Structure 1
C-alpha cells in the first residue's frame, strides 16, 4: 500500500491521530510507539483510541465516513449476535451487555479504520484490519 499525505482539510483532532499512526503505527506496535503513547496525556490517549460517535451510532458512523464495507461488517456482527441471543433466549441484561460489546468494537476500531481509509484508501471489509499485533 502506498501512503497518502493526510488532507489539511481534516480536523485538528484527526490530524493528531493520523500523525501518531503515520509516525508510530498502533500504540502497541513497537517499543517506540509504546513510549510515545505513554507520554501522551489521558485525554490524548482517549482521543487516539476511542471514538464516542462510533460507539453511539455504530454502523451508521462507518457509512457516513465512507467506510461502508466495514459498516456492513459491523452491522452483520450486530445482527448475528442479536440472532444468537434471541435463539438462546438470554436475559435482557446479557443482551444489553452484548450490544455494548458490539458498540465497544466500533468505538475502538473506528479511528484506525478511518486512518487506513483516508491514507491508504483501504476498501477492506475487515473491521479489524491492521489491529492485530504484528511480530
Structure 2
C-alpha cells in the first residue's frame, strides 16, 4: 500500500503537476512529473508523492479500482528510486484495464526514465 505521506490529495497539487510538469506518454499510461522546488510547490512534505487518475474511460468501477490498486502497488516499488522532491501523476488510459501489472510497471518505469527520474527501466524479476 502506498503510504499516506506519499500521496497527492489536493486538486491544486494535481493541477500543478499536470500543467507545469513534464509528461511522457506510454501505450497504457501518461506519466506527468514535476520537482516541487522548481514550481513553488510547498516543500514541507518529504519524499516523492504520487497521484492517480483513472477515468470512466478505463472501464466500470470494479475495473478502475483494480487498475488503481495495481498502480499504487507499483508506485510503492518505485518510491525509493525517486528524489524526495518529485511529484508524479499517472493517468491511466483505457488499455490499462487489460494490461498486466508487469506491463504497467515497465511502462511507468520507462516513462520515468524518459523524464530523467530513473536510471533504467526494470522488468519483472526473472
TM range (shorter): 0.3 to 0.5
> TM-score normalised to the size of structure 2?
0.33
Larger Rg belongs to: 1
